[in-house]
Chain A
Amino acid sequence: MTDRDIDQQLVERVQRGDKAAFDLLVSKYQRKIFRLLSRLIRDQAEVEDIAQEAFIKAYRALPNFRGDSAFYTWLYRIAINTAKNHLVSQGRRAPTTTEADIEEAETFDDGDQLRDLNTPESMLLSKQVGEAVNRAIDQLPEDLRTAIVLREIEGLSYDEIAESMSCPIGTVRSRIFRAREAIAQELKPVLDTAKDKRW
């Protein structure tokens, strides 16, 4: 099952009345939506409000979502339109959305084309997150580090990693999971400390 298939499964559960499935989609995409909205709107409180409004609009519109596009692409458009409407209602100029933006939404390459909307705080936090991730990866045992890098950086499947590392696929699954747990532990203090100081 691909990532898109999993999203579609969650969408179908929401369409059958399961609100918990929508919570899972929120927790999966909230940061990407924040990052997207922060390019359009500087104020963090406003970004959070508009992100929430976008998610609620998406929830209300979900019965009409047929899966012709990826869920995130659809959500991205809703978020952009919500932000534009907000800016217009405030008498501010709404930026235009290009096809390139849509393509970018598909590939999630948010980091490469940032506008100069970063605040010193957001840049610092981003740097700290990056350092925490690197530190966590450096501290991992060799086999866990190799597995997570092959998966996340090189994009290899479990089968390919198992072949590359000459180990059973179950071992690959376990190593990747343990690496993620270790990275999560390293990230926690950074994000907790940075609460209310981001962007």
Chain B
Amino acid sequence: MAAGHTATSGKVDTEHLSSLIDGELDAQQAAAVLDALCSDAELQRRWSDLQLVGDALRSSEVAACHVDGFGDRVRAALAREPTVLAPRRGARPAWRRYSVPGLAVAASVAAIAFVAVPLLRAPSPDMMVQKQLPATAPVVASTAALAASQAEAKAAAAIASARALDPYFAAHRELTGGSALPRAAAYLRPGAGER
């Protein structure tokens, strides 16, 4: 068991170990202490002592389970083991991790836009009229009048073409389904009340 005060090993002393155990070092300091700890047998012994003290302060039953020499036993067994190495996790830079999915999303949006935008922009008659509307107010009034007269002309043409079809519809009335009894209509005598 260790004795005495702050035994310095390089730049790291056992006081740092105590702080490390308490989680009171920042990442950089902790890494430096761990570096020293992994390469210095004396610091490792002090680490072991401080851990034992911590166990004893928290639970005397746990501390009473201390077995001298167990660490040496495990160390000897470990020496016979091949060194384990975890496969390196991909050292991809962070920008690649985020930029590749981002590019995929952007490409999808672009593809949708390429297909959908022309369809959405297909000109409807109303839109064409609107498209012809100039921006300034006085001209808007005159184009509105123009649009109204165009609509009237359109309606008149439709009515005229409908009238032109009247004789045709009259000749084929029994086939048009316009009456409630379309097929029987031809055999009915009109003016039943004339008797």
Name A27's contact: one of B22, B48, B60, B87 (CB within 8 Å).
Answer: B48
- The size bracket of the interface on B is 35 or more
8 Å CB contacts to B: which residues of A59-117? 59-60, 62-64, 108, 110-111, 114
Known: A20-B44, A125-B64. A180 touches B58 (CB 8 A): no
Taken residue by residue from 18 to 37, chain B's Cβ proximity to chain A (1 for < 8 Å, 0 otherwise) reads as 11111111110011001001
Taken residue by residue from 186 to 199, chain A's Cβ proximity to chain B (1 for < 8 Å, 0 otherwise) reads as 01100110110011
Q: Flag if B59 contacts A127 (CB, 8 Å).
A: no
Q: Flag if A27 contacts B64 (CB, 8 Å).
A: no
Q: How many residues on A have C-beta within 8 angstroms of the other chain's C-beta atoms?
A: 76
8 Å CB contacts to A: which residues of B106-156? none
* Chain B residues touching A, majority SS: helix
Name B5's contact: one of A9, A15, A26, A178 (CB within 8 Å).
Answer: A178
Taken residue by residue from 58 to 92, chain B's Cβ proximity to chain A (1 for < 8 Å, 0 otherwise) reads as 11111111111011011101110101111100000
Whether B171 is near chain A, meaning CB under 8 Å from some CB there, is: no
Which A residue's beta carbon lies closest to that of B33?
A6
Question: Could you tell me the distance between the alpha carbons of A55 and B83 in the complex, rounded to whole angstroms?
Answer: 14
Q: Flag if A34 contacts B22 (CB, 8 Å).
A: no
The winner among B23, B49, B65 for most chain A CB atoms within 10 A is B65
Q: Flag if B57 contacts A148 (CB, 8 Å).
A: yes
Q: Flag if A111 contacts B53 (CB, 8 Å).
A: no
A151 surroundings in chain B (CB, below 8 A): 22
Question: Could you tell me the distance between the alpha carbons of A22 and B87 in the complex, rounded to whole angstroms?
Answer: 18
8 Å CB contacts to B: which residues of A1-56? 1-3, 5-6, 9-10, 13-24, 26-28, 30-32, 34-35, 38, 48, 51-52, 55-56
Q: Flag if A111 contacts B24 (CB, 8 Å).
A: no
Which B residue's beta carbon lies closest to that of A32?
B62
Q: Flag if B51 contacts A28 (CB, 8 Å).
A: yes
Whether A183 is near chain B, meaning CB under 8 Å from some CB there, is: yes
Name A199's contact: one of B4, B48, B50, B65 (CB within 8 Å).
Answer: B65
Whether B6 is near chain A, meaning CB under 8 Å from some CB there, is: yes
Interface residues of A (CB under 8 A from B): 1-3, 5-6, 9-10, 13-24, 26-28, 30-32, 34-35, 38, 48, 51-52, 55-56, 59-60, 62-64, 108, 110-111, 114, 118, 122, 125-130, 132-133, 148, 151-153, 157-158, 173-174, 176-178, 180-181, 183-185, 187-188, 191-192, 194-195, 198-199
21 contacts between A and B (CB under 8 A): A1-B20, A5-B27, A10-B34, A15-B85, A15-B86, A17-B85, A23-B44, A32-B65, A51-B70, A62-B84, A63-B84, A108-B58, A110-B59, A111-B60, A111-B62, A133-B60, A152-B57, A174-B15, A178-B5, A187-B52, A198-B66
Which 8 pairs between the two chains have the least Cβ-Cβ distance?
A15-B86, A130-B60, A188-B1, A34-B65, A63-B86, A111-B59, A27-B48, A177-B18
